Structure 1
């Protein structure tokens, strides 16, 4: 048997100098989040600035200076012309890139305690459903059409949550990773709902602190499972996909049946056959 490797050479195509920097000084600021929706690229940073780039342009297309007075830790596209950001004082902000000015369209908050949020993702099919996680390790679910506070707050990791991602083609499955060394698979699929409670496997079932109420005029067939979970019905199973001795899991990504993550142990883990 022969194994043939095809190696492609990477080359630098574009470079944007000092896209993030502290105003009034020559000090560069860390870029803390990037998201792409071809051809657009959005970056956010410790300087509270939002930049819009395009891969075929050497110039920054647009900069929103003073977009935030605190560090923005994460960014995602809600729609083609709208983005969501999370910051270090527990706020989720919605921005319409078609509008001029430095003000967000809407501002959402987790609690009055201003717990920092570190990560964010939106449901691939129902874009009003947004998940975020932060300093206290909780999983927050928003319906950005109706609520300025999270629809659900769920006890999750024992330390900071660094990444949250819906599965792109099976969004009843969600994945999170944390400083506590855990990589969690959240399963809210119909198969879980149909299991007797004594058959629920995995690490545990989530303790939902504040459960959701679907608006009375909502079409129940279109209501996301993440907005209509009943904590009394065991609708959610959580499985830790890594050994308990793992150091901080800093990032994750999903491609089909494969999940990859990186850790502070200078190790990359690949999980295959997520749903087998």
Structure 2
């Protein structure tokens, strides 16, 4: 990694952090971003538009390019060094295929996910069983310490909130003793710590509204191209709502822009269909 990116990349890779898993190495890759997690966020966001192009673009060449791009960004996400990718990439693919095609889509997504994970493991030199054990143990720790523990910590320490921005990274420098800063990874727990329980109700209501309204729009769309697009965008919004339990990926560049752009497009797909010609809808 150091030979490829140079010494200055140490700060963007947690000192070239890498995980040794059964002889293979999973290294954090920042790409052109300032931190590896941002690259992971970018790759997982690109799955939605790539899927939409692959499934329903009017040009055969663009559909082929979309399929290649979908495979490329999915594998890139798995190779980014974010271990959560091995959970969230298959989940996003399952949601996307399932929303568009139902049970048949879920079966197809399973085959597709196994294929891209197999390719990624071949590149990394990691055994499937070792990866499963590693990710399962990690997921259990996240569920206990971050998803549940973080929320309990926030509710017990600041049920009424401490103010906007008080649990951000830069906020630690506002303390006379930086060690007194309480770092919370769970996005919903951070909401409680900053805005209180009433703020949590508002934020959860916002995400629930996006998902419910997006689901209604998806069901009402008749045109196949737009249904493919709505399936991909709705799946992405659902995924981000789920990842919020683990961390605050939604606050990082560039995902903090893509989330709201994609959600806005999803909300307007019904209008796009109403303005389309019958030929475009079919």
TM-score normalised over the length of structure 2: 0.24
Structure of greater relative contact order (alpha carbons < 8 Å, 6+ residues apart): 2
Greater fraction helix: 2
